[in-house]
Amino acid sequence: MTDSATGSKKGAGAGAQAVSAVMMVALVAAGIWLLAQVLPQGSGAASEPATCSKEDNRRPAKHVSGTRLCEALNRKDLPALLGTPDEHAETASGSGGYFTVAGETRIAGSEANVTLTSYSVKLSAGYDRLSVADWTDLLGTSAEPRTILGHPAVLYSDRTIAITFGSDTSDTGPGGIARRLVVAQDAKDGGGAFEVAIWRQDDVTPDDAALLRVAEAVLPTVPGWTNG
C-alpha cells in the first residue's frame, strides 16, 4: 500500500552540489542508454519480448548486479503495470560498476533499463550513503515525500536527454519529463536507495500511478530489499 506523506519542503542549501553530482551521473547514464537504443539488440525475434542482456560484471561483488535488477524489472506483467497491456519489452539490459563524481568520489551503483513502445523504465541501486531524508532536503521544493511499502521515499521530476542524428552528426538536447521515485533500501533509512524511473517515448508527462504500481511490484523482488 502506498501512503502519501506531508511536511515542509526544505530548500536545497549547501548540499545542492552533492545531489547535482549524483543527478549528473544519472543524466550521463541516460544519454549513453538512449544512444544504445539505436544500436541492434540481441533480443530474438521482433515479435518476442526482449530478454535481459548480460552485463560486463564490473560491479562490486557485495552489491546487486545490473543483470539481477534487469530480471526483477523485466517481468511479464510490466506492460500491464504501466497501463499498456498490449505492449511488450523491446529492449532489456543491465549494467553496474563504479562512477567517479567530481573527479574524486567513487560511487558504486547498478541499473537496469527496459523499453516498450510507449514507456521506458529504469531501476537502479545506489550505494552512495545518501538517505532518502538527505535526498528530500537536497531536492528542496521539488521533493514529494512518500512512504512505499513501509520505506521512506521521495518522488520528483527531471528531464531526459534527447539525442538527434543527422547525416554526419548528432546532437543532444532536453527531452521529456521523467518521474523518479527514490526509495530507502531499508525502513530505517540508513543510507543507500533504489530508484524507479519512467518516462514516455512521446514526451508526455508519465502517469504517477503507473510508476507507483511498478515500484510496489518490483522492489520487494530485488536483493537487498528489507520488509518495512
Per-residue model confidence (pLDDT) at position 36 = 40
The cell 541501486 sits on which residue?
125
Strand ordering across the sheet containing 151-165: 2-4, 144-148, 151-165, 170-184, 193-200, 119-126, 105-115, 91-101
CA gap 178, 203 in Å, rounded: 9
Whether 60 is in a domain gets the answer: yes
CA gap 49, 47 in Å, rounded: 7
Whether 56 is in a domain gets the answer: yes
What's the pTM value of the predicted model, to 2 decimals? Answer: 0.75
DSSP string covering 45-109: STTSPP-PPPP---S-TTS--HHHHHHHHS-TTHHHHTT-TT---SEEEEEEEEEEETTTEEEEE
Whether 8 is in a domain gets the answer: yes
Per-residue model confidence (pLDDT) at position 53 = 78
Whether 160 is in a domain gets the answer: no
Per-residue model confidence (pLDDT) at position 121 = 97
Helix H or strand E segment including 28 = helix 16-36
CA gap 76, 73 in Å, rounded: 9
182: containing domain:
2-37+47-153+176-191+202-221
Whether 161 is in a domain gets the answer: no
67 Cβ contact partners less than 8 Å away, ≥ 6 residues apart: 52, 54, 55, 94, 112
- The number of domains in the chain is 1
Per-residue model confidence (pLDDT) at position 56 = 55
Whether 42 is in a domain gets the answer: no
Whether 185 is in a domain gets the answer: yes
183: Cα separation from own chain's centroid: 11
Per-residue model confidence (pLDDT) at position 62 = 73
Asked whether 31 and 93 are in contact (CB, 8 A), the reply is: no
CA gap 108, 185 in Å, rounded: 15
Dihedral of alpha carbons 227, 141, 174, 131, sign: negative
Per-residue model confidence (pLDDT) at position 178 = 92
Low-confidence ranges of the chain (pLDDT < 50): 1-45, 164-165, 173-174
Buried b (16+ CB within 10 A) or exposed e, 141-153: eebbbbbbbebbb
CA gap 194, 62 in Å, rounded: 15
- Residue 21 sits at the vertex; the CA angle it makes with 6 and 218, to the nearest 5 degrees, is 55
Whether 170 is in a domain gets the answer: no
